[in-house]
Amino acid sequence: MRKLTVGLVGIALLVIGCGNGQQESPGDQQEEAKTVAEKETQQMSPDDSVSADWQIRLDYPDRGSEDDITIEQTSKGYHIVSGPRAIYYKKGMTAMVPYHFEATFTQNNQPGPEAYGLFVGGEKLESDDQGYLYFLIRETGEYLIKRRVGSETETVVGWTAYDDIQSVKEQEKPVNTLAVEAASDSLHFMINGEQVTKIPQEQIQYTEGQTGLRINHRLDLTVEDIKLEYR
pLDDT digits (tens, 9 = 90+) for 146-183: 999 999 999 999 999 999 999 988 889 999 999 999 99
pLDDT band at 22 (very low <50, low <70, confident <90, very high): very low
Helix, strand, coil share (%) of the chain residues, nearest 5: 15, 50, 35
What range does the domain containing 198 cover?
3-230
Distance CA 182, CA 206 (A): 11
Distance CA 96, CA 130 (A): 18
Number of separate domains in the chain: 1
Least confident window among 88-92, 144-148, 220-224 = 88-92
Beta sheet of 209-215, edge-to-edge order: 54-58, 86-95, 209-215, 115-123, 131-138, 142-149, 152-161
Distance CA 130, CA 109 (A): 30
Distance CA 98, CA 187 (A): 10
> 206 and 97 in contact (C-beta within 8 Å)?
no
pLDDT digits (tens, 9 = 90+) for 35-74: 343 343 223 222 344 545 889 999 998 888 999 999 999 9
SS3 72: strand
CATH number of residue 40's parent domain: 2.60.120.560
- The overall average pLDDT reported for the chain is 83
> What does the buried/exposed string (b/e) look like for 61-79 if buried means 16 or more CB atoms within 10 Å of the residue's CB?
eeebebebbbbebeeebbb
